Amino acid sequence: MGFISFLIGFSLIVLMSYLVRLNVIKEAKSEANDIVSQAQQKADELIKEKTLEFEEFKHNLEINAESQINTYMESIESLKSHIDEAEKDFKSKTGHIKSKLKKKRKRIEGKTQGLNDIRSSLKKAKEKLSLYKQKYNDTLKSQFQNEIEDIKTSLATKTLEDYKTRMSNWQTDREEEIERTAERKARKIIEIALNRFMRPYCSERGHHFVNLINEKVKNKIFGPDNANFKFIEKECGVDLIYNEEMNSISISGFDPARRELTRLTLEKLLHEKTVDEKSIQRVIVKTKKSLFKKIKMDGTKLFRQLKLNKVSPNIINMMGALRYRYSYAQNQYFHCSEVGFLCGLLSAELNLDIHKGRRAGVLHDLGKAMDHSIDGGHAVIGADFIEKNGEANDIVHAVRAHHYDVQPSTPLCYLVIAADALSGARPGARRSTADAYMQKMGQLEEIGNSFKEVTDTYIMSAGREVRIMVNSRDVDDRRAITLSKEVAKKIEDQCNYPGLIKVTVVRKSEAIEMAK
């Protein structure tokens, strides 16, 4: 029995030691996997950072090379202009010398007697001319009994009146012709510009939420008593909203760059092993540095695509920040790029300065990068900003006037307005919010019901048609026609909408009789 007990105890000891070893090996493997995962994450971050630094280094080299090439080209152009001026000066002096020699030869070849004959002939001709003038004046006085000056004045007045009449008729004809052909020519120019614009539409949309993987990640991000959650809000200057149903965090804030910073920070914190205030601050600082580099590169890239030089660094940074600004779900960075290209194409069709058109077009919505922190309309904000940073007065005026904050006074202003409308009207470029859509529907219905003859108003085809029901006893066919015009005119005056809205007046007549 003692031997059997010993054997059983020994087997239990071996079994326990084996189980302990298995547990130790399992924990070691788990820890090794965590170390490998963390090392892989840090390696990916290092690769991304070095890639960004390489792109920035390459970008700076390209800018320096382009700057040196521009400098050499300016020197070459200056030398060419000096050579052309010297050549023109030489030709001018040579021609002047030749003309002097020719005149001297003629004078030498001339004869004194010939000159005297010419002078005597000229004197006789003058005497005859004076006699003819005297006879003509005497004849006029005897026939019309008026002074010569009065006759001249009356003739001049009549001639001037005839000229004014002809010019007035010509101006009227030209204005009528322009009114007949202006819209057709404008449509043709726009069609040509759009056919030349080959850039595809960018459907990039902003993402202002971060999905949490599981409950463990959620607890890590929130921290004890939501301490990490509140600390991230404070450091990034945004509001974070947790959606329990979708297990995601939505980011709310007026500054688009801060929203993007918060989103990138949250995505990096998802992969952190531990999340506390120190790690949050470290990730925010690192993410902010990377984001600022990307903003600068995006702004520089846009101006290089448009081939625009001598742009202030402040304007470049603001343009890069527009990458995270959206208006009616349209990315404003790509919108400004489209407007720049379109305005340049329209300028080319009208024989205007292409680079000025591109410059005014790309800068027209720059104020949207600052309108969350500065009071006023984005057109005025952007115009004031680019004026402080050295842009020309005509560019500043075009930016300030593209929403009629001031009255447009140059062709460039109207080209920017047209290019802005073309970019915003591209199919799928913009989407109205639910509130704006419901407000439009309610406003159209209110306008239809404001007429006393109307019994019901129906909004159809997503607001593209207003169908009005009227009482046939109160409205005849002629009144139905005038009523549709009145409703359409009121919609034009009170509503702001793209495209066309069809107004239909329905006059229903019913004849009912009961058979007994």
Q: In whole angstroms, how far apart are CA 393 and each of 77, 308, 363, 388?
A: 26, 17, 13, 11
Least confident piece of the model among 3-12, 169-178, 392-401, 433-442: 433-442
pLDDT for 247 beyond 70? yes
pLDDT digits (tens, 9 = 90+) for 429-481: 666 555 666 777 888 888 888 888 888 898 887 778 889 888 877 888 888 88
pLDDT for 386 beyond 90? yes
pLDDT bracket for residue 413 (50, 70, 90): very high
What pTM did the predictor assign? 0.57
Side chain identity, residue 272: E
- Strands (E) across 146-216 are located at 209-211
**pLDDT score at 384:** 93
Phi, psi of 383 (to 5 degrees): -65, -45
- The number of CA neighbours under 13 Å toward the Cβ of 482 is 7
Do residues 336 and 365 touch, judged by C-beta distance below 8 A? yes
pLDDT for 207 beyond 70? no
- Strands (E) across 275-419 are located at 326-327, 330-331
Do residues 295 and 312 touch, judged by C-beta distance below 8 A? no
CA–CA separation, 466 and 444 (whole Å): 7
Q: What is the mean pLDDT of the chain?
A: 82
CA–CA separation, 137 and 79 (whole Å): 65
Do residues 475 and 509 touch, judged by C-beta distance below 8 A? no
**pLDDT score at 221:** 80
What are the beta bridge partners of residue 210? 249
- Strands (E) across 287-354 are located at 326-327, 330-331
Q: In whole angstroms, how far apart are CA 67 and each of 63, 71, 108, 428, 496?
A: 6, 6, 62, 39, 46
pLDDT bracket for residue 55 (50, 70, 90): confident
Least confident piece of the model among 47-51, 99-103, 136-140, 364-368: 136-140
Closest CA to 411 of 365, 367, 348: 348
Least confident piece of the model among 25-39, 202-216, 228-242, 487-501: 202-216
pLDDT for 47 beyond 70? yes
100 CB-contact burial (10 Å; exposed 0-12 / middle 13-18 / buried 19+): exposed
| DSSP designation for 404 | T
CB 486: neighbour CB atoms within 10 A?
14
Please state the rounded mean pLDDT for residues 231-247. Answer: 84
383 CB-contact burial (10 Å; exposed 0-12 / middle 13-18 / buried 19+): buried
pLDDT digits (tens, 9 = 90+) for 476-507: 888 888 888 888 888 888 877 656 788 898 88
Please state the rounded mean pLDDT for residues 228-249. Answer: 84
